[in-house]
Amino acid sequence: MARTVQIIGAPTDYGANRRGVDMGPSAIRYAGLADQLAEMGVETVDSGDLQAPRAEERDPDRAAVGGRAKFLAEVEDVCTRLAGTVAEALALDRFPLVLGGDHSVAIGSLNGTARDATVGVIWFDAHGDFNTPATSPSGNVHGMPLAAALGLGPFADMPWARADGVSEENVVLVGLRDLDDAEREAIREADVTVFTMSDIDEHGISTVVRQALDVATDGMDGIHVSLDLDWLDPREAPGVGTPVRGGVTYREAHSALEAVARRHDRDGILRSMEAVEVNPILDEHNETAELATELVASALGKRIL
């Protein structure tokens, strides 16, 4: 990773159903992210955290849409500012590394990185994040960011949410194991590519990620990697917003991110990244934040040899 990495904190929990993920950026920094990257010879610039008012100070239902999307006005505000910060980092030839916060911040990351480019997406997550306000059982926006960026449902009429440089054909979801019924149907009808945990079990993480990279990079200017720490099994990452048993192992996760780094070394494809859903309240000795730091380092080129 020759470019300077710009660390951008997005400390939100508007999109989640549990408090605590707003402290994720601080926990990841405390786990030694900058030091880890410095040891690799990677220069970092930390632009601090975006301001995000506390959820208790706001009305979750004040922004009405077709269905329910809690704190949508607040998500719009943070993601609009985040998109601008990501785009500015890219204009300075820096690599935007967004620290969440809940996964709704990916709407801002994707809009920023795809503002002036075509971008493929690899979505490492237990969940599809493909709900819309009309299909979401909870109304939590952290279950909607991919649908928002692709302009599905009412998001089609929200320019702040719809990332026009991202197309379904170059979106790949890796490691899914927990979907809502309507969300499952929407994913089946979409042109996205999906690898479930069963696919990883059958074919192995190396094969799955290699195929995912082929799809995401096809004809694109670069790719965005979205890493939700609940992608890992809760035994590996206990401090996450929405844990689901049966996720990838520690070594599988590193192997996946190392594969991203190797493809970047070859083709220069990695454009931006985020790590989200670290919840220090539920964590054990900051273990999940430390894991997030290690996985980011793997994606940016850290190797055993």
Q: Which of 285, 199, 297, 203 is nearest to 254 (CA)?
A: 297
**Mean predicted confidence (pLDDT) in 254-276:** 97
**Mean predicted confidence (pLDDT) in 281-287:** 95
pLDDT tens digits for 98-147?
999 999 999 999 999 999 999 999 999 999 999 999 999 898 999 999 99
Backbone dihedral region of 180: left (phi > 0), alpha (psi from -120 to 50 degrees) or beta?
beta
The reported pLDDT for the residue numbered 2 is: 76
130 touches 304 (CB < 8 A): no
84 — phi, psi (to 5°)? -65, -40
Whether pLDDT at 50 is above 60:
yes
Q: Residue 59: pLDDT band by 50, 70, 90 thresholds?
A: low
Task: Report, as residue numbers or ranges, the catalytic residues.
Answer: 103, 125, 127, 129, 142, 228, 230, 277
Pairwise CA distance, residues 282 & 288, whole Å = 9
Beta-strand runs (E) in 86-198: 95-100, 119-124, 171-176, 193-196
Cβ neighbours for 152, distance < 8 A, ≥ 6 positions apart: 130, 132, 186, 190
Q: Which of 150, 96, 109, 128 is nearest to 12 (CA)?
A: 109
Four-point Cα dihedral 88, 120, 5, 15, nearest 10 = 80
Mean pLDDT (the chain, rounded): 94
Least confident of 20-34, 48-62, 76-90: 48-62
Which domains does the chain possess? 5-299 (3.40.800.10)
Pairwise CA distance, residues 116 & 88, whole Å = 11
Model pTM score: 0.96
